[in-house]
Amino acid sequence: MTIAGHAGHTGQAGLQPVESYLSEVLAAIRPLPPGELGLDEAEGAVLAEDVTAAWPLPPFDNSGMDGYAVLAADVAAAAPERPVTLPVRGEVPAGDTRRHELAPGTCLRIMTGAPVPSGADAVVPVEWTDGGSARGRQVTFTRPAGPGNAIRRAGGDAAVGDVLLRAGTRLGPVQLGLLAAAGRGTVTARRRPRLTVMSTGNELIEPGQPVTPGQIWESNSRMLAAAARQAGFRAARLPIVPDDKQAVLAAIEDALASADLLVTTGGVSMGGEHDIVKAALHDLGTVTFRKIAMQPGMPQGFGAVGPAATPIFTLPGNPVSAYVSFQLFVRPAASVLQGIDPERLAATSATLAAPVRSPAGRRSFLRGTLDPSAGVVAPVSGQQSHQLASLARANALIIVPEAVTELPEGADVDVLVLP
Amino acid sequence: MTIAGHAGHTGQAGLQPVESYLSEVLAAIRPLPPGELGLDEAEGAVLAEDVTAAWPLPPFDNSGMDGYAVLAADVAAAAPERPVTLPVRGEVPAGDTRRHELAPGTCLRIMTGAPVPSGADAVVPVEWTDGGSARGRQVTFTRPAGPGNAIRRAGGDAAVGDVLLRAGTRLGPVQLGLLAAAGRGTVTARRRPRLTVMSTGNELIEPGQPVTPGQIWESNSRMLAAAARQAGFRAARLPIVPDDKQAVLAAIEDALASADLLVTTGGVSMGGEHDIVKAALHDLGTVTFRKIAMQPGMPQGFGAVGPAATPIFTLPGNPVSAYVSFQLFVRPAASVLQGIDPERLAATSATLAAPVRSPAGRRSFLRGTLDPSAGVVAPVSGQQSHQLASLARANALIIVPEAVTELPEGADVDVLVLP
């Protein structure tokens, strides 16, 4: 590892470190107010209450198998050579809400999930019987069943008052299932936050439409909306916004109605009057623009806009810069909006398959292909911030620290795994 | 590790091994026909064509920075103590489709992303100048810029004919961005498959509604629909289907109109006339039911129904059995429907934090909490197949092989990581 001694390299002065910017930004984001969500809108939400069992789980003693409800003592002596035959006095299917009583010396046919009749203390699986007589009037047992056999006790999964799920739990498939099983139709939780992304630039044309030289197809808004969904947001994209201050302000106004977080790309470089996003947001007052000690993604803006002080990230327009900035700064905002610790990209370390270079004083996030089983990461060819085709071949970001300007093949590096 | 010698244990005869069942099932699933998808529906789709660049990426030489387009030779001698001043003959913003020509001895102001004027061979960043005179008529350069400086060459990311994305690639955020950047409005791909899940049982009540003893709240359909979305499906759930053969057949008929794969839960145990799903599907002809050498999840059914031979899985009704079966058998079907190798749960190995038991002749998938950094996995309390609250505390499945009946604390085990 070559440690560069040029931390004071010209042009790097005044850059804000990545970690300090990230902390500052995340600290400025307030969690959404919790709401009462129906189960269908609760997928991916984060609980804002401890959910306790209002009823036992299961709610009543029920059969774990298809078979016969008995008094265990009545079949205690059953064996293949000494079978026991009992009269079948009825049938209890699953969902049966009648009240059944078992008389000693008799049995009831019972199905999986059906309530165990009072008086019965065991269920004998149908496989341990002759299956019952043709008209179902009697059944012969060839094996005994101990008390409690094949009975799932009320409260055996959770008792009344048990905490089923703690506040702060993200509601995945099983947690949703458990809420349903506990009878909850709604739950107090913070829903998945809504992110709106807008791309600005007179040069941008919708893919599928013809371009003339000087124009390019717009790619950032779809890419970032999809990345946002992957990160747990609900995401929408606005139509391309032209380089016009009023148009940008109108688009932001529009987006504020239905977004918990805004993301713009483009319009924030060094070009003065052409940096329309910067100009528009200066009027809104609370957005600040900085240079971060990183590559790609140096120019970043963050603030709050509108009556609800909706957080806004202004990401650079270069697609690779926009994507890397999103993963580092916007992704963890999702969990912060949901009131839990920021979730970041998975980190690992690996051995470099080729030498790399990095500017002094800036943390590089080079695009690489990680082979996790071999523990090796190779930088992809094409490390410039407009090289989206190269990014599409990568599955990881190789971190080169601020003070390092080059690393040889074989060096150990920290790596972020792309989702 | 205790290897049990009882592979021929009574009751285990005739069980189909997990791997053989999985292979059989996946081999029976045909990939969806590829379609021409718009970019918005292509998220999560799998390419069925090699996508090549029809235009160079970038499509034209453009400026990588805000600055001045020059002839490099004109500023070659520039230095702080020997500044060079040139007349500014115009401005090229991004999106400018006019044709600009640079006359030697002059310069043009140029913005990031704007096309480089013919005659220019370098861009000098605005930071290397005095920023231009008040009226923008001239600018003074204090550093030279070599030929090609800050110019992103046409084709520098991809040349015409380069393969951008191979058939078989899943379209994530960056791949969608790349398709957009390449101008593609549509792409030939296999969309995310649509899965419909239905839960059957007279005992089932929608959560939020009142129950009477004998009834329980339905939890499987929401759980499995959410798990399906996590696995890459688009998923829908049907209303609860009662234990009525005609109702089950009608629900399946209904679902077939809009599903690429069906999943049922419940109605497939040993109870004969009450196993309504089994009975209904017997009439449709091609669904077979087996016992798989696993726990939970022994009773499995698979086949094809309807005019399009839509694959159907009949999962057991116990929630833990249904969930584990889904992860093992249904999850990999998503990628098979998209024409690529089945994607399975991530596997790892860990040290057992407590002893476990398992029935002879069956592969157990015990619910556990995995600490990946410590490499330790602990079985959760409550390993019965109805114990959903226990499953909600787990993040992994501990595999106990068929021939093993117990494992001590400290044993090495294979573990599947739950998503």
CATH of the domain at A180: 3.90.105.10
CATH of the domain at A243: 3.40.980.10
Distances (CA, A) of A131 to A62, A66, B191: 20, 11, 48
Mean pLDDT, residues B150-172 taken together = 97
> Do residues A234 and A333 both lie within one domain?
yes
Number of A/B CB contacts below 8 angstroms equals 293
Burial B33-65 (b: 16+ CB within 10 A, else e): ebeebebeebbbbbbbeebebebbbbbbbbbbb
Which pLDDT belongs to residue A269? 67
Instruction: Decide if A248 is inside a domain.
Output: yes
Which pLDDT belongs to residue B285? 64
| B230·A173 Cβ contact <8 A | yes
Nearest residue of chain B to residue A67 (CA atoms): B271
pLDDT tier for residue B68 given thresholds of 50, 70 and 90: very high
pLDDT value at A270 more than 70: no
Instruction: Decide if A342 is inside a domain.
Output: no
- B369 vs A278, which has greater pLDDT? B369
> Do residues B167 and B199 both lie within one domain?
no
Nearest residue of chain B to residue A110 (CA atoms): B271
The beta-strand segments (E) located in B268-409 are 288-291, 294-295, 299-305, 310-315, 347-352, 356-357, 363-371, 376-379, 396-400, 404-407
Distance, CA of B192 to CA of B194 (rounded, Å): 7
- B173 vs A8, which has greater pLDDT? B173
- Give yes or no for a contact between B51 and B165, defined as CB atoms under 8 angstroms apart: yes
pLDDT value at B8 more than 50: no
Edge-to-edge strand list for the sheet holding A404-407: A2-3, A404-407, A356-357
**Among candidate residues B236, B242, B282, B227, the one with its CA nearest the CA of residue B261:** B236
- Residue A219 at interface with chain B, using a CB cutoff of 8 Å: yes
Instruction: Decide if B407 is inside a domain.
Output: yes
The sign of the dihedral angle between the CA atoms of A48, A51, A54, A55 is positive
Model-level pTM? 0.93
Last residue of a domain, one of A152, A175, A201: A152
Which pLDDT belongs to residue B136? 81
pLDDT tier for residue A273 given thresholds of 50, 70 and 90: low
| A64·B39 Cβ contact <8 A | no
Which pLDDT belongs to residue B268? 75
> Do residues B52 and B82 both lie within one domain?
no
Report how many domains make up chain A. Answer: 4
pLDDT value at A9 more than 50: no
| B95·A230 Cβ contact <8 A | no
pLDDT value at A17 more than 50: yes
Mean pLDDT, residues B374-388 taken together = 96
Last residue of a domain, one of A283, A304, A337: A337
| B96·A214 Cβ contact <8 A | yes
pLDDT tens per residue, range B206-259: 999 999 999 999 999 999 999 999 999 999 999 999 989 899 999 999 999 999
Token pair 């209450």 in the structure block, residue: A49
- Residue B243 at interface with chain A, using a CB cutoff of 8 Å: yes
Which pLDDT belongs to residue B9? 37
Distance, CA of A320 to CA of B173 (rounded, Å): 12
When scoring B157, B169, B186 by the number of chain A Cβ atoms within 10 A, the one with the most, hence best to mutate, is B157
| B207·A60 Cβ contact <8 A | no
Query: Using a CB-CB distance cutoff of 8 angstroms, which residues of chain A are in contact with residue B179?
Result: 207
- Residue A23 at interface with chain B, using a CB cutoff of 8 Å: no
Instruction: Decide if B342 is inside a domain.
Output: no
Distance from CA of A337 to the nearest CA of B (A): 21
The chain-wide mean pLDDT, for chain A, equals 93
The chain-wide mean pLDDT, for chain B, equals 93
pLDDT value at A245 more than 60: yes
Query: Using a CB-CB distance cutoff of 8 angstroms, which residues of chain A are in contact with residue B201?
Result: 94-95, 113
> Do residues A367 and A386 both lie within one domain?
yes
- Residue B203 at interface with chain A, using a CB cutoff of 8 Å: yes
Distance from CA of B244 to the nearest CA of A (A): 13
Instruction: Decide if B406 is inside a domain.
Output: yes
Greatest pairwise CA separation for chain A in angstroms: 98
CATH of the domain at B395: 2.40.340.10
Query: Using a CB-CB distance cutoff of 8 angstroms, which residues of chain B are in contact with residue A184?
Result: 207-208
- Residue B388 at interface with chain A, using a CB cutoff of 8 Å: yes
> Do residues B265 and B175 both lie within one domain?
no
Token pair 């809009």 in the structure block, residue: B258
Task: State the first-to-last Cα distance of chain A, in angstroms, to the nearest integer.
Answer: 28
ipTM above 0.90, yes or no: yes
> Do residues A243 and A310 both lie within one domain?
yes
User: What's the DSSP call for residue A330?
Assistant: I
Query: Using a CB-CB distance cutoff of 8 angstroms, which residues of chain A are in contact with residue B126?
Result: 270-271
Nearest residue of chain B to residue A271 (CA atoms): B66
Instruction: Decide if A138 is inside a domain.
Output: yes
Lowest mean pLDDT among A211-225, B133-147, B281-295: B281-295
Q: Which domain holds residue A400?
A: 347-417
Half-sphere exposure of B297 (CA within 13 A, CB side): 28
pLDDT tier for residue A148 given thresholds of 50, 70 and 90: very high
| B181·A388 Cβ contact <8 A | yes
Mean pLDDT, residues B15-30 taken together = 97
Least CB–CB distance from A215: residue in B57, B97, B164 = B97
> Do residues A212 and A319 both lie within one domain?
yes
Residue partners of B10: CB distance under 8 A and separation at least 6 = none
- Residue A163 at interface with chain B, using a CB cutoff of 8 Å: no
Mean pLDDT, residues A252-281 taken together = 83
Which helix (DSSP H) or strand (DSSP E) does residue A305 occupy? strand A299-305
Instruction: Decide if B306 is inside a domain.
Output: yes
pLDDT tens per residue, range A338-351: 999 999 999 999 99
**Among candidate residues A295, A314, A114, A293, the one with its CA nearest the CA of residue A198:** A314
> Do residues A227 and A352 both lie within one domain?
no
> Do residues B51 and B182 both lie within one domain?
yes
Question: What is the per-residue DSSP string for B87-152?
Answer: EEEEEE-TT--S--BPPTT-EEEE-TTPBPPBT--EEEEGGGB----TTSSEEEESS---TTTTEE
- Residue A231 at interface with chain B, using a CB cutoff of 8 Å: no
Which pLDDT belongs to residue B271? 55
Which pLDDT belongs to residue A183? 97
Last residue of a domain, one of B311, B337, B363: B337
When scoring A373, A388, A395 by the number of chain B Cβ atoms within 10 A, the one with the most, hence best to mutate, is A388
Instruction: Decide if B103 is inside a domain.
Output: yes
pLDDT tier for residue A401 given thresholds of 50, 70 and 90: very high
pLDDT tens per residue, range A178-196: 999 999 999 999 999 999 9
> Do residues A326 and A248 both lie within one domain?
yes
Paired tokens of B408: 């001590």
pLDDT tens per residue, range B88-137: 999 999 999 999 999 999 999 999 999 999 999 999 999 999 999 878 89
Cβ neighbours of A239 (radius 10 Å): 11
Lowest mean pLDDT among A92-96, A264-268, B375-379: A264-268
> Do residues B248 and B260 both lie within one domain?
yes
- Please identify among residues 96-115 of chain A the ones whose CB lies closer than 8 Å to any CB of chain B: 96-98, 111-115
**For chain B, percent of residues with pLDDT exceeding 90:** 89
| A226·B43 Cβ contact <8 A | yes
Nearest residue of chain B to residue A230 (CA atoms): B173
| β B67-70/B163-165 pair status | unpaired
Mean pLDDT, residues A101-118 taken together = 96
Distance from CA of A307 to the nearest CA of B (A): 31
- Give yes or no for a contact between A270 and B65, defined as CB atoms under 8 angstroms apart: yes
> Do residues B356 and B315 both lie within one domain?
no
**For chain B, percent of residues with pLDDT exceeding 70:** 95
- Give yes or no for a contact between B47 and B188, defined as CB atoms under 8 angstroms apart: yes
